[in-house]
Amino acid sequence: MENGEVPEDANENCPGPQSESAGKSDSCQGCPNQEACATAPKGPDPDLVAIAERMATVKHKILILSGKGGVGKSTFSAQLSFALASLDFQVGLLDIDICGPSIPKMLGLEGQDIHQSNLGWSPIYVESNLGVMSVGFMLPNPDEAVIWRGPRKNGLIKQFLKDVHWGELDFLVVDAPPGTSDEHISIVQFLQATGIDGAIIVTTPQQVSLIDVRKEVSFCKKVGVEVLGVVENMSGLSQPELVAFTEVFDSSAGGAAEMCQEMGVPFLGKVPLDPQLCKAAEEGRSCFEGQSCRVSAPVLRGMIEKLLKVKEWNQDELQHAENGRV
């Protein structure tokens, strides 16, 4: 039973586990949770206070979401983090995709272990200004399945937020699993007091993906998280050497741009399917280094610069964006 939540098997008219009358009122008689509620500590969840203290040094928090798996959400999270770090921002990348943690691979950090100090868990650093935390660092075998129910997943997310010592951060990028499940509810609930700047939603152009993205947009609206924009990934296969462009997914219904217009959320743009970007993700490196990702890198760079300017994040940060190199 999570702090403050009414158990699913509670009696009708349950006063709530945080109430002073929990386990004692007439409506509690015969409830299977009566003894637990009567003896449980009352008041605010102390972990939320610890999370607020940790997050006090983080200026901006961005969730990266998707309705479906396999649309390139984690690739976008990784490249967004690389880009922000190359602009001299202090960046943290938190992977809360508990069952499918791909961030360690995409950042070139496979095989790394988490270390603990008197300040808490230490992130694994790609660069001095880009730290990463993931359950992937905690698995003894990378092929081992994480078979956890919701409460255990939520407990780890809470631990990441309250125990990881990020230090001063300009941006905390949170790579969430696909869908709108326990992890999403938890991250919003745990960060509610400190504020979330918003969410970027990643999709592919076809309707089978957009159907679920609509649910993701609806989720954000219901929980009060601003949709910063939608990214249409794998938007056609561009082959500059052949001067050719091939539509991979059916976008005859208008794709993400049409959906954004209908739902009243910003459209950040289209990222073409670029084999070189896929290769960069596989090798755990930034697509902005060198000229190999000449199809996708300029598009991603434009999206990030657009986001920084549209949100009008403080003038020092905008100056970073104008003077930095992606």
Distance CA 282, CA 72 (A): 12
Count of beta carbons in the 10 Å neighbourhood of residue 257: 16
To the question of whether residue 70 is assigned a binding role by annotation, the answer is: yes
Burial pattern 212-243, b for ≥16 Cβ within 10 A else e, equals bbeebbebbeebebebbbbbbbbbbbbeeeee
To the question of whether residue 73 is assigned a binding role by annotation, the answer is: yes
To the question of whether residue 24 is assigned a binding role by annotation, the answer is: no
To the question of whether residue 72 is assigned a binding role by annotation, the answer is: yes
To the question of whether residue 28 is assigned a binding role by annotation, the answer is: yes
To the question of whether residue 179 is assigned a binding role by annotation, the answer is: no
To the question of whether residue 68 is assigned a binding role by annotation, the answer is: yes
To the question of whether residue 67 is assigned a binding role by annotation, the answer is: yes
DSSP character at residue 206: S
Angle at 249 between CA 246 and CA 254, to 5 degrees: 100
To the question of whether residue 99 is assigned a binding role by annotation, the answer is: no
To the question of whether residue 14 is assigned a binding role by annotation, the answer is: yes
Residues facing residue 254 across a β-bridge: none
Length of the chain: 326
Count of beta carbons in the 10 Å neighbourhood of residue 131: 25
Return the beta strands (E) in the chain as ranges: 58-66, 91-95, 115-117, 120-122, 124-127, 130-134, 169-175, 198-203, 227-239, 244-246, 267-273
Residues facing residue 238 across a β-bridge: 245
192 Cβ contact partners less than 8 Å away, ≥ 6 residues apart? none
Residues in binding site: 14, 28, 31, 37, 67-74
Residues in binding site for ATP: 67-74
Residues in binding site for [4Fe-4S] cluster: 14, 28, 31, 37
